């Protein structure tokens, strides 16, 4: 009898400890000052602080570091309790990972090249594919190890930005290059907006060949929180990348009279990071009794997406 009680209470204690640990691991990282973080990073590496591109590169590095070093580390590929039972933080991680993949792709193909026939930067060429490793891979290759290799190549690229001679890396802060990043952002935000709005079901805008709307598209009740936190994670990363762009692209943004539009996007993205006080993501409908967190997020994401479109027009015509 005594032994049975000991086993029972030990089991209850383990479950309680796992629950509390899961709550701690599910806490989202705080926002950071991109300028201060970049200055601290390049000072630690004894690099000059006035080189164009170091702020954005340092920000991308810090976002990737955060994925690996936050409480609990990288959880998406864990196969043991309690992290195997968590889904909000892995969804948040995936949103950030999508942002990293988009940004490093633009850095590789656009920002580091003067024209389409220019050679690729050797470190970005290595870094970008590494962030495309499946986030659920936990062995051969292990996702964290591959992402860390990508971070190391980004650090090598950042160090070469301040060099002279044939080994120097380049960062071309031009309007057309920023537009390429914004085009990818526009597609991501548009997709998130649709998926979030589908929490209450909506008629599909993708018409079949007969031109008739047949069904409503609705996000599964079991996936609502995953979509919410994925969009929240992407918005967290994008918020910092655009703040870095405000620094590195400052002359272009001022010349195009586009600084206000960029700050409008940042302001909407900051709204997506407000504290979620509810213990779960609710899915109320219309003006019902319960809130619909997905629709609130969709509102901020849609407004940010509209501002991205306006910013692209200014960069084209300003």
Residue 50: what pLDDT? 83
Angle at 110 between CA 104 and CA 111, to 5 degrees: 75
Q: How many helices (H) and strands (E) does the chain have?
A: 11, 2
Q: Which residues of 34-68 are buried (b: 16+ CB within 10 A; e: fewer)?
A: bbebbeebbeeeebeeebbbbbbbbbbbbbbbbbe
Query: What 8-state DSSP symbol labels residue 101?
Result: H
Q: Per-residue confidence of the chain (318 residues) as pLDDT tens digits? A: 667 777 777 777 777 776 677 677 788 999 999 999 999 999 998 888 789 999 999 999 999 999 999 998 999 998 888 777 788 999 999 999 999 999 999 999 999 998 777 889 999 999 999 999 999 998 889 999 999 999 999 999 999 999 888 889 999 999 999 999 999 999 999 999 999 988 665 544 555 555 555 555 556 655 678 899 999 999 999 999 999 999 999 999 999 999 999 999 999 999 999 988 887 788 776 666 778 888 899 999 999 999 999 999 999 875
Residue 127: what pLDDT? 97
Alpha carbon distances (Å) from 146 to 96, 108, 130, 149: 16, 17, 6, 5
pTM to 2 decimals? 0.90
């Amino acid at each position: 009898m005594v032994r049975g009680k000991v086993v029972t209470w030990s089991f209850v204690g383990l479950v309680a400890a796992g629950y509390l640990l899961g709550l701690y691991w599910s806490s989202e990282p705080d926002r950071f000052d991109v300028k201060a973080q970049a200055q601290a990073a390049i000072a630690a590496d004894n690099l000059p602080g006035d080189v164009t591109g170091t702020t954005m590169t340092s920000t991308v590095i810090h976002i990737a570091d955060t994925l690996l070093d936050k409480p609990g580390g990288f959880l998406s590929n864990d196969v043991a309790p309690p992290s195997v039972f968590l889904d909000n933080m892995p969804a948040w991680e995936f949103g950030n990972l999508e942002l990293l993949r988009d940004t490093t792709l633009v850095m590789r193909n656009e920002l580091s090249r003067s024209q389409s026939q220019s050679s690729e930067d050797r470190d970005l060429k290595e870094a970008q594919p590494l962030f495309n490793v499946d986030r659920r891979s936990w062995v051969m290759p292990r996702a964290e190890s591959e992402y860390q290799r990508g971070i190391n190549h980004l650090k090598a690229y950042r160090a070469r930005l301040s060099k002279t001679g044939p080994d120097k890396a380049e960062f071309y802060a031009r309007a057309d290059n920023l537009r390429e990043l914004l085009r990818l952002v526009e597609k991501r935000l548009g997709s998130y907006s649709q998926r979030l709005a589908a929490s209450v079901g909506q008629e599909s805008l993708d018409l079949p060949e007969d031109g008739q709307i047949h069904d409503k598209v609705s996000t599964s009740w079991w996936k609502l929180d995953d979509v919410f936190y994925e969009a929240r994670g992407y918005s967290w990363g994008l918020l910092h990348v655009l703040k870095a762009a405000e620094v590195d692209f400052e002359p272009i943004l001022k010349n195009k009279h586009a600084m206000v539009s960029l700050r409008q996007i940042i302001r909407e993205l900051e709204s997506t990071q407000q504290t979620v006080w509810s213990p779960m993501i609710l899915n109320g409908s219309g003006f019902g009794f319960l809130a619909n967190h997905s629709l609130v997020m969709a509102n901020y994401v849609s407004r940010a997406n509209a501002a991205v479109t306006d910013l692209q027009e200014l960069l084209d015509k300003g």
